């Protein structure tokens, strides 16, 4: 063996051998009990970031269960990533001096498709580079024809059951990206804003209203005060003049008004604020749209029509001040909703959209966790899961983008009724009219990926692996993805007539890993320039070292900072393993010496088996960090520093056999964490026995 372990020479070669021999396929153990993991679908057009490297936890579980004789399926897949991909493509268009608005819908779709197809496969190469033992023969894509058919079928079932409806509701709209978003896709940033105090004239005197959004006042349909506020006694129903307009609006009483905010009087703009929208419904107020989908003021804004929001705000304040309506302004800090992609402000706008009624879907998903049929690890995350589902709101699944799965709904131009199908084009409406026009919107990407466990296994004829054994992902998408998979998965199976609740759930165990931040503990982002490519580190330190460093010392569900010292320590650990293997290889000649059984050797072998039992126990409880730490400590500080030092001067056939047996046990235990170096060592010392990857997991007794 060479003096130094060279990862660059062996990793690609070993991975290719594993794959060619079919070791990643469940057919490897056809009589084994089914065990399945579904890789969270990565962006088909994206690149691997360090968060993806945490899927090493899935690889550890897959490798362990293969060695235990399970028929193990780890299924890979990619997501078309609707807004994510279109956002990247539109940026490319802007660099070319073009815009999405320059192209027809179908033309733009084909352009994005070509762009994605040309760039697909990048992440697959990177996942291979990290040694992930995925069954690539069963790889799925969210835009595969048979996956799309399942998505359409589910939507049709939901529609037929009255769980899908179309309504004009206030939605979160990004005027820059030109699409609506669900509540989960809106992030809130604390910003410094101006609070303006505006006088609204009464017949006698005035009420001063405090607002951060004076430009929306043209959509005001009331001023609200708390009935318990003595400052506004006997004003309910009084009419008040709306500045800069000829309209009058009523004063309404509502206990939801915070008497301590501003003056205790608030303008009510139902078409542009979620709270005002609910207040408007409660008091039957009109909805007047003053901001369009292009981010400009509508004709309801009078002389300010056509101005962008910020421009309009400045002009409105200038006019109010000129006419004596502006009492004062002050600087405050408030939470502002922004688009999670472009970071531009989100505008609440009225829009006709498709919504899914979530409460009926949420109840069985809640019960599945409460009953223990679905287990969330770490258990502390159950609270977030329950909070989301117990307070869930109807889901807006319409997106105004072209890249994605187009909603299978057609509107009749005669009676205005909608026809929903399983994807096929209807010939005529129920009224008999053939003048049908398809909805141009696409599904929210999370709607298709929310059916991922069922869709992937159904379309690969692998339903024997359903429910999925483990759904492992980052804790940050517990609500976005995991909860939605639970809801949709249970619904789909119920519609198939599956009564057994154990078979309805889409997965048994949810395992949540933490985020990997930069070395300073800051979240990695391209805008900050602190993104680290795990492949570059794999080239430098070796894939095994990257994998081990990510697991060692990282408790499940906890964030961790990228640690170069840990990477260096993992590399030194790999070299230590290599040196142990070299020592064993060099001592082969001395092993021919006949000796007697040494009690020490028997005790050390028992200790190795005890370690095996500990490692299995840790992995059964998803305590990957404890398993890695135990292996590191035992191999380096017990096996190498103590046992090998002891056995050096007394090598004979019996002690050598004990030495190799112990090392083999430890290599097997370490293989799921560091597959390349352990396989290479196995080939050097036990080549006649096949491959470590498909060897038996050490006995646990």
Q: Is the pLDDT of residue 19 over 90?
A: yes
CB distance 269 to 230 below 8 Å: no
* Lowest-pLDDT range of 132-146, 259-273, 446-460, 647-661: 647-661
Q: Give the three-state DSSP class for 14.
A: helix
Q: Which among 182, 155, 184, 167 is positioned nearest to 491, based on CA atoms?
A: 155
| β-bridge pairing 409-412 and 436-438 | antiparallel
DSSP 505: S
Q: Which among 205, 216, 275, 219 is positioned nearest to 247, based on CA atoms?
A: 219
Domains located in the chain, CATH noted: 8-14+26-137+448-534 (3.40.50.620), 183-347 (3.90.740.10), 560-694 (1.10.730.10)
Q: pLDDT, tens digit, for every residue of 359-396?
A: 999 999 999 999 999 999 999 999 999 999 999 999 99
Q: pLDDT, tens digit, for every residue of 51-82?
A: 889 999 999 999 999 999 999 999 999 999 99
Residues ≥6 apart with Cβ < 8 Å to 108: 100, 402, 403
Average pLDDT value for residue range 92-110: 94
pLDDT on residue 589: 79
Rounded CA-CA distance 165/125 in Å is 42
CB distance 330 to 195 below 8 Å: yes
- Going from the C-alpha of 508 to that of each of 384, 453, 471, 501, 511, the distances in angstroms are 18, 12, 8, 11, 10
Q: Work out the pLDDT band at 93, boundaries 50, 70, 90.
A: very high
Q: Work out the pLDDT band at 701, boundaries 50, 70, 90.
A: very low
Q: Work out the pLDDT band at 700, boundaries 50, 70, 90.
A: low
Q: pLDDT, tens digit, for every residue of 158-191?
A: 999 999 999 999 999 999 989 998 887 888 999 9
- Per-position b or e across 478-495, b if 16+ CB within 10 A of its CB: bbbbbbbbbbbbbbbbee
Contacts 24+ apart (CB under 8 A), 638-643: 638/607, 639/580, 639/604, 639/608, 639/663, 639/666, 640/576, 640/580, 643/604
CA terminus-to-terminus distance, the chain:
33
Q: pLDDT, tens digit, for every residue of 268-322?
A: 999 999 999 999 999 999 999 999 999 999 999 999 999 999 999 999 999 999 9
Rounded CA-CA distance 130/124 in Å is 10
pLDDT on residue 597: 77
Tokens 């043209």 found at = 218
Rounded CA-CA distance 181/198 in Å is 32
Rounded CA-CA distance 520/388 in Å is 31
Of residues 203 and 412, more confidence is placed in 412
- Give the torsion through C-alpha atoms of 626, 629, 635, 641, to 10 deg: -130
Token digits of residue 509: 């165990």
Q: pLDDT, tens digit, for every residue of 530-549?
A: 888 889 999 999 999 999 99
Token digits of residue 172: 């979160």
Rounded CA-CA distance 452/489 in Å is 9
Average pLDDT value for residue range 591-617: 89
Q: Which among 230, 300, 257 is positioned nearest to 268, based on CA atoms?
A: 257
Q: Is the pLDDT of residue 596 over 80?
A: no
Give phi and psi for 84, each to the nearest 5. -60, -50
Average pLDDT value for residue range 511-517: 95
Q: Is the pLDDT of residue 524 over 90?
A: no
Token digits of residue 494: 């119920």
**Stated pTM of the model:** 0.92
Rounded CA-CA distance 630/310 in Å is 59
Q: Work out the pLDDT band at 651, boundaries 50, 70, 90.
A: confident
Q: Work out the pLDDT band at 47, boundaries 50, 70, 90.
A: confident
Angle at 538 between CA 532 and CA 541, to 5 degrees: 105
Q: Work out the pLDDT band at 588, boundaries 50, 70, 90.
A: confident
pLDDT on residue 666: 97
Q: pLDDT, tens digit, for every residue of 338-357?
A: 988 888 899 999 999 999 99
With both helix axes pointing from N to C terminus, report the angle between 564-586 and 653-670 in degrees, rounded to the nearest 10.
150
Token digits of residue 484: 């939605």
- CA atoms lying within 13 Å on the CB side of residue 674: 32
pLDDT on residue 592: 72
* Lowest-pLDDT range of 82-96, 297-311, 519-533: 519-533
Tokens 């609500």 found at = 479
| β-bridge pairing 265-268 and 222-225 | antiparallel
Q: Work out the pLDDT band at 526, boundaries 50, 70, 90.
A: low
DSSP 193: E
Rounded CA-CA distance 637/507 in Å is 39
DSSP 530: -
Residues ≥6 apart with Cβ < 8 Å to 125: none
CB distance 199 to 323 below 8 Å: no
Rounded CA-CA distance 612/631 in Å is 9
pLDDT on residue 279: 96
Q: Is the pLDDT of residue 503 over 80?
A: yes
Average pLDDT value for residue range 620-626: 98
pLDDT on residue 52: 86
Average pLDDT value for residue range 498-509: 94
Rounded CA-CA distance 38/514 in Å is 18
Phi-psi map region of 191: left, alpha, beta (phi>0 left; psi -120 to 50 alpha): beta
Q: Which among 685, 666, 663, 684 is positioned nearest to 674, based on CA atoms?
A: 666
Order of strands across the sheet that contains 409-412: 418-420, 409-412, 436-438
CB distance 293 to 173 below 8 Å: yes
Token digits of residue 27: 């057919």
What percent of the chain is modeled with pLDDT above 90? 85
Q: What is the CA radius of gyration of the chain?
A: 31
Contacts 24+ apart (CB under 8 A), 644-647: 644/580, 644/583, 646/600, 647/601
Rounded CA-CA distance 2/24 in Å is 29
Tokens 């359903």 found at = 466
Rounded CA-CA distance 9/6 in Å is 6
Phi-psi map region of 508: left, alpha, beta (phi>0 left; psi -120 to 50 alpha): alpha
Q: pLDDT, tens digit, for every residue of 684-699?
A: 999 888 999 999 999 7
Rounded CA-CA distance 671/686 in Å is 14
pLDDT on residue 122: 82
| β-bridge pairing 34-38 and 71-75 | parallel
Give phi and psi for 350, each to the nearest 5. -75, 130
């Amino acid at each position: 063996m060479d003096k130094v372990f060279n990862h660059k020479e062996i990793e690609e070669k070993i991975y290719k051998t594993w794959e060619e021999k079919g070791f990643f396929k469940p057919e490897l153990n056809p009589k084994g009990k089914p065990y399945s993991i579904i890789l969270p679908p990565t962006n088909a057009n994206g690149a691997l970031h360090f968060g993806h490297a945490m899927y090493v936890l899935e690889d550890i579980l897959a490798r362990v269960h293969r060695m235990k004789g399970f028929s193990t399926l780890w299924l890979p897949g990619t997501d078309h990533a609707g807004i994510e991909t279109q956002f990247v493509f539109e940026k490319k268009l802007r660099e070319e001096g073009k815009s999405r608005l320059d192209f027809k819908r179908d033309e733009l779709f084909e352009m994005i498709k070509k762009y994605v197809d040309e760039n697909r496969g990048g992440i697959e190469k990177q996942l291979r580079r990290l040694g992930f033992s995925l069954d690539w023969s069963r790889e799925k894509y969210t835009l595969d024809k048979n996956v799309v058919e399942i998505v359409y079928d589910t939507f049709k079932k939901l529609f037929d059951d009255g769980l899908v409806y179309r309504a004009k509701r206030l939605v979160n709209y990004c005027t820059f990206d030109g699409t609506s978003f669900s509540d989960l896709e809106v992030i809130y940033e604390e910003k410094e804003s101006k609070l303006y105090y505006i006088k609204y004239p009464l017949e006698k005197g005035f009420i001063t209203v405090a607002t951060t959004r004076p430009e929306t006042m043209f959509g005001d349909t009331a001023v609200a005060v708390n009935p318990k506020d003595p400052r506004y006694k006997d004003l309910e129903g009084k009419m008040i003049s709306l500045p800069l307009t000829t309209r009058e609006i009523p004063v309404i009483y509502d206990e939801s008004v915070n008497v301590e905010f501003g003056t205790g009087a608030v303008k009510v703009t139902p078409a542009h604020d979620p709270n005002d929208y609910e207040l408007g419904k409660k008091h039957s107020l009109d909805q007047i749209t003053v901001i369009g989908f292009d981010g400009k003021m509508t004709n309801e804004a009078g002389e300010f029509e056509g101005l962008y929001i910020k421009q309009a705000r400045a002009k409105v304040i200038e006019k109010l001040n000129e006419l004596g309506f502006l009492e004062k302004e002050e600087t405050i800090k408030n939470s502002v909703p922004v688009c999670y992609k472009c970071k531009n402000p989100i505008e609440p706008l009225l829009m006709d959209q498709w919504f899914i009624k979530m409460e009926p879907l949420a109840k069985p998903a809640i019960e599945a966790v409460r009953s223990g049929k679905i287990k969330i690890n770490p258990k502390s995350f159950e609270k977030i899961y329950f909070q989301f589902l117990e307070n869930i709101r109807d889901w807006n699944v319409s997106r105004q983008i072209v890249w994605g799965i187009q909603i299978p709904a057609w509107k009749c131009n005669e009676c205005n009724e909608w026809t929903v199908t399983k994807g096929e084009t209807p010939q005529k409406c129920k009224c008999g009219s053939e003048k049908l026009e398809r909805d141009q919107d696409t599904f929210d990407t999370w709607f298709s990926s929310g059916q991922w466990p069922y869709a992937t296994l159904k379309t690969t004829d692998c339903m024997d692996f359903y429910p999925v054994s483990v759904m492992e992902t980052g804790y940050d998408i517990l609500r976005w993805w995991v909860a939605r998979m639970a809801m949709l998965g249970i619904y789909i199976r119920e519609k198939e007539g599956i009564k057994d609740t154990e078979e309805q759930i889409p997965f048994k165990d949810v395992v949540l890993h933490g985020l990997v931040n930069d070395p300073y503990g800051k979240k990695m982002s391209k805008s900050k320039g602190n993104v680290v490519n795990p492949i570059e580190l794999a080239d430098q330190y070796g894939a095994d070292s990257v994998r081990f460093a990510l697991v060692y010392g990282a408790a499940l569900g906890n964030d961790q900072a990228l640690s170069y010292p840990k990477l260096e320590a993992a590399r030194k650990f790999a070299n230590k393993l290599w040196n142990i293997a070299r020592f064993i290889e060099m001592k082969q000649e001395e092993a021919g010496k006949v000796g007697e059984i040494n009690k020490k050797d028997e005790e050390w072998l028992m200790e190795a088996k005890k370690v095996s039992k500990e490692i299995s126990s840790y992995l059964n409880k998803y305590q990957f960090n404890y398993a890695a730490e135990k292996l590191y400590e035992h191999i380096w500080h017990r096996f190498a520093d103590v046992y090998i030092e002891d056995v050096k001067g007394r090598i004979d056939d019996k002690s050598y056999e004990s030495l190799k047996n112990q090392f083999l046990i430890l290599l097997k235990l370490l293989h799921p964490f560091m597959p390349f170096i352990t396989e290479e060592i196995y080939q050097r010392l036990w080549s006649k026995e096949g491959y470590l990857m498909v060897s038996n997991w050490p006995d646990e007794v």
